[in-house]
Structure formats: C-alpha cells, structure tokens
Amino acid sequence: MRIPLGIHLGERFTLEETWAAAEIAENHGFDSLWVAEGRLTRDAVSIMALLAERTNTVRIGSGVVNNKSRNAALMAVTFKTLDEIAPGRIVLGIGAWWEPLASRVGTPLSKPVVAMREYVGVLQAFFRNEEVTVDGEFVHMDGVRFDRMYAENVEVDIPIYAGAVGPRMLQLAGETMDGVYLDFLLPVDYLTSARASIDKGLAARADGRTSIDITQAIAVAVDDDDPRSAIDACKAFLTLYLMQQPHIAEHCGVEPELVDRIKQVAGWPATPDDIKRAMVLLPDEAVLRVAAAGTTADVVEKLEEYHEAGVRVPVLNPLGGRKLETIESLARAFH
C-alpha cells in the first residue's frame, strides 16, 4: 500500500464485522489491527487472540490496554502468550486509564507518567527474559521472571506503544518505548507538538535509538453517494466525545461555551436521540478538523495529510452504518 493502514476495532463492530474487517486487512496488505479496550465493554486480549489465530500477516495491537487493571507480570506473560499464537506480530499498546472509571473500580489515577515508567520498565525486563526485582512507587516485583517448566524461557520481541496524548507521556514514549498510538479526534496540526515531545524524549534515550513509530487512530466515514451522511456519522461521534471527555474540545477548536450548550441539550449518559439533537450545534468545520469524512477522495486527502505530518500508519476508526464499506473503499484507494 502506498500508505500503510490499520483498523481500530472496538465495540461498534459486531464479532462478525470484526472478522470481516480482519479479512479485508489481510487481503489488502494492511499494516495492523488494533483492538480497543477502554470502558467496560469488551476485553481486548480475547479478541486479539482470536484475530491472531485467524490472520497470517497483519500486526495485532492492543489499542489500548491500561496499566491499572492487570499486574505487570500478568500483562507480560499475557502478551508473551499472544506472541506464541502470532510470532512477531503482536504489539502492546498501553495507556493510563481514564477517570472517573479508574476511581470507580478502585484504582484512581495518580502520577500517571511515573506509574507508566515503572510499569513499562518491568514489561521490558520480562520480555528480555530477565529476573525482575523492583520496589517502585507503584510497581513491586521480588525476584520474578517467566517460569515455564516444560519449555525454554526465552526473550520475546514485543514492541510497546504508548497510548498518549499529553506532552509528558509522549516524552516518556520517546525516551523508553517503541512507538505511540495516538488517539482519534486530534487534528493534523497536533502532530507538530506531539513530535516535539517525542523528540525531547528521544534525546534522553539510553539505547541510542533516534526514532519511534507513530500511529494514530483517525475517525473516518466514506459515502460516495451521500457524503453528508458520512460527515454526520463523524459529527455524532465528536458530539458524544465532547460530552464524555470535554477536554478534547481544545484540540478540536471547539469553544467551552459550545460544549456547555451541547451538554445542556444532551445529558449523560446520552441516548441516540440526545446525540441527534445536540450534534446540530456543531459546525462541519469542527468535525472535518479532527475526522476524515465525505467521499473516498475527501478521506484519502485527509489521511494523506496525517501521513505527511508524521503518522506512519493512519489507523481507520470507521463510523456510521457503512463501516466495512468504508474500509473496502480506502483499501482499494491506497492499494
């Protein structure tokens, strides 16, 4: 493909649609499949294992798991197991969990960058097949390592990507990790500051590495017969996220007053009808700043902008009622 593409697979996909998307990815030489795990909807690891068994070439990443709900040693052995199913094709995408969910399940966020540094350090030591002893502020390990009895314990090559948005986490990724998996609903010009933060981290690396991989999930919708419906699919998605995570408004160029008006129209949790009433307040310009929507040509142009800004792999997050058709259209366009 002239630009490598990925697919972001979340709960909006049925299992049947998930398998169909994976088949499209394999047939068209996609770079990767990324399985979402955020709210309490689906576990990423179960779906990743099934995808690993059903595919042969595409990389399979978590997009993303968190460093709160699984012990670091268990996370390491889980991804080592996935690598047994799909050797060399597994990517561990990891991020800090988000509030208020983290607090509601008893693991409130505190010093997320410090916690991530400790957690990732333990993962990397496990993957190097080392014995791990750590007495950190958040992570504690006492002489543990991979412990298979009936097969040799060996080093595994599992890249770690940070699900990061803020400058300090991006800097940590540049300093210690293999890549970043940037969130959706971030504009092209966000890449300028993101890359600066990554580069600051790279300058502090101890291993001499001078670059890491940049991937980004991008909200997309294609409808060549009715481009308006594609834009509206992304508009509904943005409206939902502005209510759920209003801090993204800054990146979207949406004024706080508009977010307040949207929240007045649609409460939380919002129903589909609430979203329809609230989304009319959002101008198309705000949507097209952070999403790729419209005709195939419109979306291709936007994805190329992200790629030129530094995103090696734009990861399609298809929205609306034509998710598989959107993937197929873009697969043909970039093949």
> Which pLDDT value is given to residue 5?
98
Q: Which comes out higher in pLDDT, residue 177 or 241? A: 177
Q: Output the CA–CA distances (angstroms, integers) from residue 42 to 29, 35, 318, in the order listed.
A: 26, 9, 18
Range 257-270 average pLDDT: 86
Range 7-30 average pLDDT: 97
Q: Which comes out higher in pLDDT, residue 132 or 254? A: 132
Coil, helix or strand at residue 255: coil
Q: How many structural domains comprise the chain?
A: 2
Does one domain contain both 106 and 209? yes
> Which pLDDT value is given to residue 98?
76
Does one domain contain both 163 and 194? yes
Does one domain contain both 84 and 99? yes
pLDDT digits (tens, 9 = 90+) for 269-289: 788 899 999 999 999 999 999
Q: How far apart are CA 9 and CA 5, in angstroms?
A: 13
Examine the pLDDT at 119 and tell me if it is beyond 90: yes
Does one domain contain both 17 and 121? yes
> Which pLDDT value is given to residue 91?
98
Q: How far apart are CA 53 and CA 87, in angstroms?
A: 11
Q: How confident is the model at residue 96 (pLDDT cuts 50, 70, 90)?
A: very high
Does one domain contain both 151 and 176? yes
pLDDT digits (tens, 9 = 90+) for 210-240: 999 999 999 999 999 999 999 999 999 999 9
Does one domain contain both 30 and 127? yes
Instruction: Give the distance, in angstroms, between the CA of residue 326 and the centroid of all CA atoms in the same chain.
Output: 19
Of 67-81, 98-112, 169-183, give the lowest mean pLDDT range. 98-112
Q: What percent of the chain has pLDDT over 70?
A: 100
Does one domain contain both 113 and 168? yes
**Is residue 25 included in any domain, yes or no?**
yes
> Which pLDDT value is given to residue 267?
73
> Which pLDDT value is given to residue 86?
98
**Is residue 313 included in any domain, yes or no?**
yes
Q: Output the CA–CA distances (angstroms, integers) from residue 57 to 9, 143, 332, in the order listed.
A: 17, 36, 18
The pTM of this model reads: 0.95
Does one domain contain both 206 and 239? no
> Which pLDDT value is given to residue 132?
98
Q: What is the mean pLDDT of the chain?
A: 95
**Is residue 169 included in any domain, yes or no?**
yes
Range 35-40 average pLDDT: 88
Does one domain contain both 263 and 239? yes
Does one domain contain both 16 and 111? yes
Query: 261: domain range?
Result: 225-289
**Is residue 1 included in any domain, yes or no?**
no
Strand partners for 92: 160
**Is residue 108 included in any domain, yes or no?**
yes
Does one domain contain both 85 and 184? yes
Does one domain contain both 217 and 229? no
The last residue of one of the domains, among 289, 311, 326, is 289
Q: How far apart are CA 226 and CA 134, in angstroms?
A: 56
The CATH number linked to 63 is 3.20.20.30
> Which pLDDT value is given to residue 1?
64
